[in-house]
Amino acid sequence: MHAHMYCNTKDTRQKTGGKLTSIEKYELNKNNSIPLYYQLEQMIKDMIDNEQLLPGQRAPSERELAETLGISRMTVRAAMSNLVADGYLFSVSGKGTFVASPKMHQNLLELNSFTEDMRKRGLKPGARLLEMDVSSEASSKVYWVLGLAEQEELIRIYRLRTADGEPMCLETSYLPRNLFPWLFEEDLESGSLYQALESRGIELARAEEQLEATVVRETESRLLTVPVGYPALLIERTTYTRGDKPIEYVKSLYRGDRYQFSVTLFSRKTKKSNRL
Ligand code: 16G
């Protein structure tokens, strides 16, 4: 049974002769101030969470939803297109709308490499090395963050990261060249940058990250295989060694439809008291 702000469950067993289909269990609340398209979005997200709709399964059609819930097709269309834009559904032209795979859930408290992160999920990590060069023209911020003078050389690594072959994010990493001259010999397509660093005795201790909402631009759209203007998350990371030396500055553009980030927050009082 569900109890939601947007819909009440309705027992239609009498009407359907004992069969209770998933949409028929729901009823949108037409008298409250929450727009119907929004209520419908929540309802479909809920059906996905409850596994009434499974990844790869066809979503109920526009007509079916409109008729069963007694709302206009325009309202259904608005909800469905928002769910597509947010990555919960995807449409295949001529075939219909389907439920997307769940978003990647990344815990912001762990310092993981992309490779580790994908392996933990049982996915095959991959990379396409788009560019790798020695750069002396990065923005002043990069030099400042890495504690370098502006004439010093940086190694710039631009990679498209994939999970089971599907593009996930675009990453541009900068590392001081004088510390890692051997990096050019590493295989950064099938291998891991962090593993390469660790195998040379460089222990990564912490990273500082900033997250920002953005949209996908043209070149990125081709590489990430999503339309221009698609929602994305821009993450800037500075990674520090055990000796607290900043050794990596990365800008990553994650597909907004495939990622979800989470963090656990503690109350300031938690440390002082263990009371419930
Ligand atoms: C993650 C890191 C990135 C690092 C990469 C190393 C974020 C936002 N970024 O993608 O800073 O360079 O892992 O991955 O988490 P690799 O060891 O698989 O090459």
Between vectors from CA 123 to CA 118 and to CA 128, what angle results, nearest 5°?
70
172-230 pLDDT per residue, tens: 999 999 999 999 999 999 999 999 999 999 999 999 999 999 999 999 999 999 989 98
The stretch 4-21 carries a mean pLDDT of 42
Helices (H), the chain: 13-16, 36-49, 62-69, 73-85, 114-120, 140-145, 193-199, 218-224
Q: What pTM did the predictor assign?
A: 0.73
Nearest residue to 208 via CA among 149, 243, 249, 171: 249
Amino acid 17: pLDDT: 37
Tokens of 47: 């059906």
- Overall residue count recorded for the chain in this entry: 276
pLDDT value for 6 = 53
258/86 Cα distance (integer angstroms): 9
Q: Which of 112, 158, 161, 171 to mutate to test the pocket of ligand 1 (most atoms within 8 A of CB)?
A: 171
Structure-model confidence comparison of residues 167 and 267, the more confident one: 167
Does residue 120 have a pLDDT over 90?
Answer: no
pLDDT tens digits, one per residue of 125-159: 999 999 999 987 789 999 999 999 988 999 999 99
For residues 10 and 1, the answer to whether their CB atoms sit within 8 Å is no
Query: Residue 157: in which H helix or E strand, if any?
Result: strand 154-163
Cα(113) to centroid of ligand 1, in Å? 4
Judge if the beta carbon of residue 39 lies within 6 A of ligand 1: no
Instruction: Give the residue carrying structure tokens 């993981």.
Output: 112
Q: Are 232 and 255 in contact (CB under 8 A)?
A: yes
pLDDT confidence of residue 20: 37
- CA dist 89 and 104 (Å) reads 15
CA of 111 to the centre of ligand 1 (A): 9
Whether 114 is in the pocket of ligand 1, judged by its Cβ within 6 Å, is yes
pLDDT for 268 beyond 90: no
Paired residues of 248 in beta bridges: 239
pLDDT reading at 91 higher than 70: yes
Least confident of 4-13, 64-73, 80-89, 193-202: 4-13
Sort strands 259-262 and 104-107 into parallel, antiparallel or unpaired.
parallel
Q: Give the Å distance between the CA of 161 and the centre of ligand 1.
A: 9
Amino acid 237: pLDDT: 95
Gap between the Cα atoms of 170 and 225, Å rounded: 11
Q: Which residue has the higher pLDDT, 261 or 63?
A: 63
Rounded CA separation 41/76 (Å): 9
Q: CA-based angle 215:88:221, to the nearest 5? A: 30
Asked if residue 87 has pLDDT above 90, the reply is no
Question: Residue 261 and residue 66: Cα distance in Å, rounded?
Answer: 33
Are 227 and 262 in contact by the 8 Å Cβ rule? The answer is: no
What is the residue with the minimal CA distance to atom 2 of ligand 1?
113
pLDDT in tens, 27-77: 788 888 899 999 999 999 999 888 889 989 999 999 999 999 999 999 999
* Burial of residue 82, with CB atoms counted within 10 A of its CB: 0-12 exposed, 13-18 middle, 19 or more buried: middle
Q: Return the pLDDT at 273.
A: 57
